[in-house]
Amino acid sequence: MKKIPLLLAGILALLFLESFDPDRQLQTRHSETAPDWGFFAHRRINRLAALTLPPEMMVFFKPNIDWISDHATDPDMRRYATPWEGPRHYIDLDEYGAPPFEQLPRSFLPALMQHTEILAVLERGDTVVVYGGDHPPAENPELPWERFFSKHILPNFSSGDGSLNVDSLQVFLKSGSREIPAVQSVFFQENLSKHGILPWHLQRIQGWLTNAFRQRDSKRILRYCADIGHYVGDAHVPLHTTSNYNGQKTGQVGIHGFWESRIPELFADEEYDYFVGKPEYLPQTAEYFWDVVLASHSMVDSVLGIERAMRLHFPEDRQMCPDMRNGRVIIAPCRDFAAAYQEAMQGMVERRLRAAIHGVASIWYTAWIDAGQPDLSKLDLPLSTEEELREEEAIRQKFNAGKILGRPEGE
């Protein structure tokens, strides 16, 4: 038997729906910035996704459902602890031309190679691009870019300052019949992550999760399930696929939090239908991740355009209202205004939330199937070690200090 009956899933969902209570972590933050989808929606997505799983998976997920739900927000917290985290949450597709962005490699390594360049500091003092960017790849089969990249660049990617050995570069460039003048130093620079790596990062975690299932490593299964649930959620948010992520380019600052935090917090419990059916096996997960971000991107114009039109036509004094958040008064979009925006978008927020829940469950399910449907009934329930608890606490402290590394997302 592969599915949990819909009615039962519905009853369970009702049992697990908490009435909205601002998250504990939010109470300790000192700014109004709302992390993506809001903590509220991310937790809800992971929890509801778990409730749709087949019994063979439920046997493990049910006892861990609080953990998976609570830790749905860890990736957002890590944005305060490491600069590598931020780009995993978005992709600015508009930086790559027009849909369907055929020039953009769908796999990570080719994309990284396409968007890495080599620069040289010349003895005369200026810095020039010697490879990449507008420079076509070297044609010499003796030392193609791919091989140079894997040998000299990839191993140093996340460590060090990106400096390269001048001699090895000379060999590479000579091999492409190009030489550079006398140089002081050379280094590489990747330009991919500044526009976000969300769909590629999803592919990586999918691999890690599948392996964790294969090895029946309960701790890593939970960790990657919680993480991938977060990123699949982000991928369903239109504003996570554009460089105008907070309406800052169109005079609509604050729209990020309005769409993905304010609206779900106001209406998700009262009005949304969470019956998303059982998870589906996804034979091509990479393709699925790209389909999701491309679909999200196709909604960006509506998200922005409808809000802009509403701001013009809705009575101005009924657009922003004082509200209480964590014992403090904040100014946020009024309930009626939010309801009107939601209606004008024809329920887009609810549709994307539902699609995210179904997507997260399907991705977990697919990883489990691809791992050979391991028996999860005998897995140990993981306990955190002292060291892990200390690490978690350190991340929490950085998060509470409130200095995001990389670009902020909310208003």
**Binding stretches for Zn ion (CB under 5 A):** 36, 89, 234
Least distance from Zn ion to the Cβ atom of residue 75, Å = 5
Which one, 42 or 188, has the nearer CB to Zn ion? Answer: 42
Q: How far is the CB of 409 from Zn ion (least distance, A)?
A: 7
Nearest residue to Zn ion, using CB?
89
- Pair type for strands 163-164 and 127-131: unpaired
Phi/psi of residue 21, each to 5°? -140, 120
Q: Considering the complex, what minimum distance in angstroms separates the CB of residue 79 from Zn ion?
A: 8
Cα angle 37, 226, 46 (rounded to 5 degrees) comes to 55
Which of 72, 376 has the CB closer to Zn ion?
72
Least distance between Zn ion and beta carbon 48 (Å): 18
For Zn ion, the closer of residues 69 and 218 by Cβ is 69
Q: Which is nearer to Zn ion, 88 or 115 (CB)?
A: 88
**Per-residue CA distances from 83 to 74, 77, 92 (Å):** 14, 12, 17
Q: What are the two backbone dihedrals, phi and then psi, of residue 322, each rounded to the nearest 5 degrees?
A: -70, 145
CA distance 351 to 298: 14
Ordered DSSP codes for 115-183: TEEEEEEETTS-EEEEESTTSPPP--TTS-HHHHIIIIIGGGSSSSS-EE-HHHHHHHHHHTT-----E
Closest distance of CB 234 from Zn ion, Å:
4
Q: Which is nearer to Zn ion, 9 or 299 (CB)?
A: 299
User: Cα(140)–Cα(142) distance, rounded to whole angstroms?
Assistant: 5
**CA–CA separation, 162 vs 379, rounded Å?**
42
CB of 11 to Zn ion, least distance (A): 30
d(CA 100, CA 191): 20
Query: Of 90 and 172, which CB lies nearer to Zn ion in the complex structure?
Result: 90
Which pair of structure tokens corresponds to residue 207? Answer: 């691999």
Residue whose CB is less far from Zn ion, 92 or 234? 234
Element (H, E) at 298: helix 285-298
Q: Give least dist CB 321 to Zn ion, A.
A: 27
Distance between CA atoms of 249 and 271, rounded to whole angstroms?
32
